[in-house]
Structure 1
Amino acid sequence: MLPKTLFALTALALAANVSAKNVMTNGDMEYGDGGWYLWNNPDGPATVSSKIGAPGIGFEGSQGAVVSITAKPKDWWGLQLQPPKFLADTVFYELSFKAKADKGGSINAVVQGGPPDYRQKTSSSFTLTPEWKTYKMKFLPDQKGYGVNNVVFQLGYLTGNVYLDDVSVETVDESFDVNWYKNSPARIDSIRKQNLTADGFTPGDTVHMALKRHAFPFGTAIAFYGKMNDSLETWYRNTANKYFWYAVPENQFKWPEYEPKKGKIRREELKKYLDFAKAYNWGFRAHTLVWGIQKYDYDKHFGNQGSCKEIAQKIHDRIDRDVKEYKGRITEYDVWNEPIHETYLFDKCGWDLLDSSFVWAHRADPSAKLYVNDYNVVAMGETERYYELIKGMLDRKVPVMGIGVQCHFNGGKVVPALIKERLDRLAELGLPIKVTEFDMGSYDRGFVFSEEERAEQYEMFLRSAFSHPAVKGILFWGFWDSRHWIPGNGGFIAADGTEKPAGKRVYDLWHKVWTTNETLVADENGAVHFRGYPGLYELKTKKGSQSKNLGTLE
């Protein structure tokens, strides 16, 4: 049974079948600068000048805009070119614009709300070139009205002359696949089930087969704070094991946590996580070897200090030492976290650091699976820049082996048609995709929907991700309110340990909906054949029971 939201999506599908209509006025600036505005954050402004609606600077000599940036703003969002506001309905739209930049660089196209918080609702990120190109992104307004879904162009990554023209916001025609979600049950049955055989029985035996745990990785970030024998810690571990079977340590393998001072390595802390995974027979991935963020005192960590040559050597030594040490125990790594957003090390020392880190990790353990990981690339529309980054690495024969998509939805809602489009694009790279950090809610505002809405949103996301053939694993970024980076109510288990509606929905999907539970009779060869989900099965006959792994991950 699909959630109630499906009916809303069906309505959207009908609404999308309309002729394209441009709802933005003066996007081509043929009426001068009317409705346009350049916002320069006074708290750390850029050094900038601009011409908007001037003749001869637009596409093919038409009227357009040029923003000349001598020095970047303090924050990447601190310089914004804002076109006229538009009247939005609850239908899908496509933003289209032409742009170029003398020095190249990245531009963010953002749909944001109005006052008081100007909340970012969705965004896409594009790499500009010195030649005019057309860029596009689809979005679904979460409000109706004038000015509540404003488009802005964030220019804080750029310097030099940036040109913009022919901005339009058009309704999306019927070619956009908004019906994809309702076919998810059939798609899951097709791509996730296999023809399985269990043998070793006596011919004629009645065999009851029950799936106990999927082979498909479904997991969570975990955080241990007490001793293993503490009652609270035991509850936490057992609760995690009720819902999940795949782990990633939330913080303990991040370099400043793992080695806060040079040579002072917290191996015993990480060992708790590896021991947990072994005791509960969980899968395990390590997050992360390198993260260039300059917040949370990461800027003070010794790995960020010194010349570029010294920084590169420290990164090499960290990767070489730790990947070799955990060879055979850790088989999957996020090598570099958030490369398209946290660019400090690249801005300082060059992008070769990214390629080199993967090469060093592969040399240290050729059998390990090496992932790149970033946010806003599926939950929002910054897909294209991520695609281009990874494609460039593949073209250069860099051993990147998997694509991590974080899927922090913040205050936004799940829109399956957009998720499909973004996953489809990344899947073109031919690498496995893992949802590495799924949650909803924002750090400063908490969870903004009702608990029943959260349950529907969780189900919609899990169905969307599990039914996409390129997705090879799904991990939540925590599950319990008291150990969640989104304060107050980020998890689906409340602080007092009670299960929220979303927790029940998650459990039921994996244990009641996506399950195999059959009774068959062994054939003349003592085997039973059936179609089911690959994983760990309990096989019962009158003579007893046994557990056996059946099927393989494709």
Structure 2
Amino acid sequence: PMRSPVASAPPPGVVALLGFEGTDDGVTSQKTATNGTWVVSIPDSRAAHTGAHGVYVEVTTAWRVPNLAQLLLPRYVPRAGRETLLHLSFYARVEKMRSTDPRPTVTVAFLDLHKNFEQLGAEVVPLTSDWQMHYVVIDLKPVHVGHSIRPYLYLGMHTGIYSFDDIEYKEIEIEDGMRWLQRAPERIKRRRMGKFELAFLDREDWPIDYGTAKISLVRHAFPFGVSLRTLGMSGLTVEQYQWYLTTVARHFWSGTIQEQMQWEAYEPRMDQVQETQRAVEELLSWSDAQHWRGSEMGAALLDGGHASKEHWSNKLACPDLKARLHERLLRDLRAFSGRIGRYEVWQGALQWREWLERCGDELFDNAYRWANQADAGATLLSSEDNVLNTLTLTKAEAYHNMVWGLRAKGVPVRGVGVKARFNGEVDASTVKHRLDVLEELQIPVYITQFSIEGLDPAKHAYELEKFLRIAFSHEAVAGVTLGELWDYGNPHPGSGLYGESRQPKPAAARIDDLWRREWHTDVTQEMDSDGAVHLDAFYGLYAYELRAGDRICAGEIELTPPSAEAAKVYGFHERPRTFVVKCDWEGHVHFPVWATPALIALTMVACLISCYRKRTDLLHRQGQVRSKPIRTSEEE
């Protein structure tokens, strides 16, 4: 007799393949209410994607609640001694019962049977009439090792004829987030610091090899900011608002106008923008007075009509909405060109789709094109929330795919905005691996509206520091903006750096310790024979002061990362980058240590002849006692 064929081994990491060929493969069904009806058939030839059979489900009367009709998939027991991603993929299609029915969905949920059916995560997956592969990825922690984790497919929401096939379980071991976090200092050194040589030259371009130089970081190149409100939007008294701005300036060097430039707030009535434009101008004038750069200021513009359903823009027909949106973006971005350098053009496009479902995705794409038309120098961001704090990776991957698709079409999205709001502890692994997904886009990631609530002040400070270490050490992150400074009127209670009584909380001291001590460069050196100061420094703006007797050469200089082309190799190099500081100092004669007396005498005679020829000029020139801030340049 012929030998039966041996099934090929599954791909690496695959722990289960459900093909439903002559068996139900352990899939069962149950309904938990009687107000809906369905038929489930496993295996069934009508639902085959590959092979001959699949899972056939016909929902004739919907329950209108997803989890009232359930398909129970086989249990998965994580056995690795470390954190694991469970990648659940499946092929699915659906036929509507009526053409007017809403688009059917399936909710994929993961329950921990070991912990009384606790739901670890769930994702709603829209289905189409064509076979498509879908997947949901969940992050299982070491505490889940040995637990029975059961995936469920909830089908109670919509009527339809559903087909499922080729369900695959794949496990991927990943690095523990806390172990990764312990190596943050070496990543910060590599990503946020560089080797530099500051060469000080006198008027005649001779090296200044005498005196003492002090170099101190004034402001990081990495923008660390807070969400800003205008006086009108803050709800504060003038005295409270002055304290608010003064305190902001004490801790931050960047800010984002999150509310005032949203369309419904900026133009509450059609063509009425004078008052709100003046309020934004006043806030920007304040930021100018703090010497914040325009490139470090941000603003949020649109949310697809979600926040204010009664705003006049939501009542426009699609052609009129398109025309008014075009006009709005050109007008407002041109008004603030050069003063606001970063825009969250459209927030929440993955979930707030009122305009897009009504007028099409072209409106979304064009919003970025029009913003770029108005201010080609601005960094244009997308913006989504609930990306960093869910156990399932689906939102991060959906966000990645959305931005990837936009850029593939030539839409000028230049950065990824991620709202980072946490209720309770920050899970380092969850945040790290979601940022890893977004890093694949190879454009900067900006953390916005970062807040942590639901913790006592000491724990809040610890978790805030943990998140900042994650963000500052991650290759993808280009800036962090906190959501709230103050707990007074805070919609996210307890997330501010200051309590309602204006008393600083432990978190305020913690961030100052990070930015002013641990992540700070302050160097004092005697000048060497080359007239240079050598230092390992964070990228940013520095104040320098060179003193020699009563002479002072002082000013500011930017110690910048390599050019954009070399961005992937930021950090320490074999050869330090040289920056030149020109001081308005008289030169003096330099003799090498090997010079003989005869050579010195000959040099002095030549100097006397030269001095005689310039005696008239020298009679009217005086030694510089105090130099002005001097322009600086990098020596290529």
Asked whether the two chains share a fold, i.e. TM above 0.5, the reply is yes
The AA in structure 2 aligned to 1:331 is G
Query: Kindly tell me: are residues 272 and 109 of structure 1, through their superposed partners in 2, closer, same or farther at Cα, counting changes over 3 Å?
Result: farther
More displaced stretch, 220-229 vs 354-363: 220-229
Query: Kindly tell me: are residues 214 and 260 of structure 1, through their superposed partners in 2, closer, same or farther at Cα, counting changes over 3 Å?
Result: same
Structure 1 residue 343: deviation in Å?
Answer: 0.9
CA deviations over 1:41-82 (Å, ceiling 9, x no partner): x9xxxxx86545632237645553647599996x9x899857
1:377: which partner in 2?
387
1:469: which partner in 2?
475
Query: Kindly tell me: are residues 39 and 406 of structure 1, through their superposed partners in 2, closer, same or farther at Cα, counting changes over 3 Å?
Result: farther
More displaced stretch, 93-102 vs 162-171: 162-171
What is the TM-score with the length of structure 1 in the denominator?
Answer: 0.79
| Equivalent runs, 1:68-83 vs 2, <5 Å | 83=72
Separation of aligned partners in 1, 2:497 and 2:118: 24
Query: Kindly tell me: are residues 260 and 547 of structure 1, through their superposed partners in 2, closer, same or farther at Cα, counting changes over 3 Å?
Result: same
Separation of aligned partners in 1, 2:89 and 2:554: 61
The AA in structure 2 aligned to 1:470 is A
Query: Kindly tell me: are residues 71 and 515 of structure 1, through their superposed partners in 2, closer, same or farther at Cα, counting changes over 3 Å?
Result: farther
1:94: which partner in 2?
86
Query: Kindly tell me: are residues 132 and 256 of structure 1, through their superposed partners in 2, closer, same or farther at Cα, counting changes over 3 Å?
Result: closer
Structure 1 residue 493: deviation in Å?
Answer: 1.5
* Alignment pair present for 1:321 and 2:300: no
Structure 1 residue 95: deviation in Å?
Answer: 4.7
The AA in structure 2 aligned to 1:417 is S
2:422: which partner in 1?
409
Report if aligned partners of 1:387, 1:425 keep a CA contact under 8 Å in 2. Answer: yes
Match of 2:445 among 433, 440, 454: 433
CA deviations over 1:242-276 (Å, ceiling 9, x no partner): 22111111310111111111011121221232122
Structure 1 residue 278: deviation in Å?
Answer: 0.9
| Equivalent runs, 1:249-398 vs 2, <5 Å | 249-265=257-273, 266-283=276-293, 284-295=296-307, 298-380=308-390, 381=393, 382-398=395-411
The AA in structure 2 aligned to 1:509 is L
Separation of aligned partners in 1, 2:334 and 2:33: 49
Report if aligned partners of 1:87, 1:145 keep a CA contact under 8 Å in 2. Answer: no
SS in structure 2 at match of 1:409: strand
Unaligned segments of structure 2, at least 5 residues: 1-12, 96-102, 202-207, 562-566, 568-636
* Bigger-Rg structure (1/2): 2
2:521: which partner in 1?
516
Structure 1 residue 410: deviation in Å?
Answer: 3.4
Separation of aligned partners in 1, 2:194 and 2:226: 25
Report if aligned partners of 2:221, 2:541 keep a CA contact under 8 Å in 1. Answer: yes
Percent identity between the two aligned chains: 25
Query: Kindly tell me: are residues 340 and 512 of structure 1, through their superposed partners in 2, closer, same or farther at Cα, counting changes over 3 Å?
Result: same
SS in structure 1 at match of 2:422: coil
Report if aligned partners of 2:92, 2:134 keep a CA contact under 8 Å in 1. Answer: no
2:533: which partner in 1?
528
Structure 1 residue 324: deviation in Å?
Answer: 1.7
Query: Kindly tell me: are residues 342 and 537 of structure 1, through their superposed partners in 2, closer, same or farther at Cα, counting changes over 3 Å?
Result: same
Structure 1 residue 214: deviation in Å?
Answer: 0.8
CA deviations over 1:18-41 (Å, ceiling 9, x no partner): x9989xxx9x9644535x55799x
Query: Kindly tell me: are residues 290 and 72 of structure 1, through their superposed partners in 2, closer, same or farther at Cα, counting changes over 3 Å?
Result: farther
More displaced stretch, 258-267 vs 143-152: 143-152
Structure 1 residue 339: deviation in Å?
Answer: 0.6
The AA in structure 1 aligned to 2:353 is T
Q: CA RMSD in A?
A: 4.0
Separation of aligned partners in 1, 2:155 and 2:386: 17
SS in structure 1 at match of 2:218: strand
| Equivalent runs, 1:180-259 vs 2, <5 Å | 180-200=180-200, 202-225=208-231, 230-259=238-267
Unaligned segments of structure 1, at least 5 residues: 1-18, 43-47, 442-446
2:556: which partner in 1?
548
CA deviations over 1:156-177 (Å, ceiling 9, x no partner): 9988655456778887536777
1:54: which partner in 2?
42
What is the TM-score with the length of structure 2 in the denominator?
Answer: 0.70
Query: Kindly tell me: are residues 271 and 521 of structure 1, through their superposed partners in 2, closer, same or farther at Cα, counting changes over 3 Å?
Result: same
Query: Kindly tell me: are residues 146 and 362 of structure 1, through their superposed partners in 2, closer, same or farther at Cα, counting changes over 3 Å?
Result: same
1:137: which partner in 2?
137
The AA in structure 1 aligned to 2:340 is I
2:5: which partner in 1?
none
1:489: which partner in 2?
494
SS in structure 2 at match of 1:355: helix
Separation of aligned partners in 2, 1:496 and 1:142: 41
CA deviations over 1:428-451 (Å, ceiling 9, x no partner): 22211111221123xxxxx1x333
Match of 1:538 among 520, 537, 543: 543
Separation of aligned partners in 1, 2:366 and 2:312: 19
Query: Kindly tell me: are residues 368 and 127 of structure 1, through their superposed partners in 2, closer, same or farther at Cα, counting changes over 3 Å?
Result: farther
Separation of aligned partners in 2, 1:325 and 1:408: 31
CA deviations over 1:484-527 (Å, ceiling 9, x no partner): 321x3121211111222222222211111111122222233433
Query: Kindly tell me: are residues 247 and 148 of structure 1, through their superposed partners in 2, closer, same or farther at Cα, counting changes over 3 Å?
Result: farther
Separation of aligned partners in 1, 2:449 and 2:398: 19
Report if aligned partners of 1:249, 1:287 keep a CA contact under 8 Å in 2. Answer: yes
SS in structure 1 at match of 2:190: helix
Report if aligned partners of 1:335, 1:370 keep a CA contact under 8 Å in 2. Answer: yes
Report if aligned partners of 1:200, 1:526 keep a CA contact under 8 Å in 2. Answer: yes
Report if aligned partners of 2:108, 2:136 keep a CA contact under 8 Å in 1. Answer: no
> How many residues matched?
511
SS in structure 2 at match of 1:386: helix
Structure 1 residue 366: deviation in Å?
Answer: 1.6
Report if aligned partners of 1:223, 1:483 keep a CA contact under 8 Å in 2. Answer: no
SS in structure 2 at match of 1:393: helix
Query: Kindly tell me: are residues 314 and 519 of structure 1, through their superposed partners in 2, closer, same or farther at Cα, counting changes over 3 Å?
Result: same
The AA in structure 2 aligned to 1:100 is A
Report if aligned partners of 2:90, 2:168 keep a CA contact under 8 Å in 1. Answer: no
SS in structure 2 at match of 1:208: strand
CA deviations over 1:451-495 (Å, ceiling 9, x no partner): 332222212211111111121111111121114321x31212111
Query: Kindly tell me: are residues 287 and 70 of structure 1, through their superposed partners in 2, closer, same or farther at Cα, counting changes over 3 Å?
Result: farther
Structure 1 residue 385: deviation in Å?
Answer: 1.0
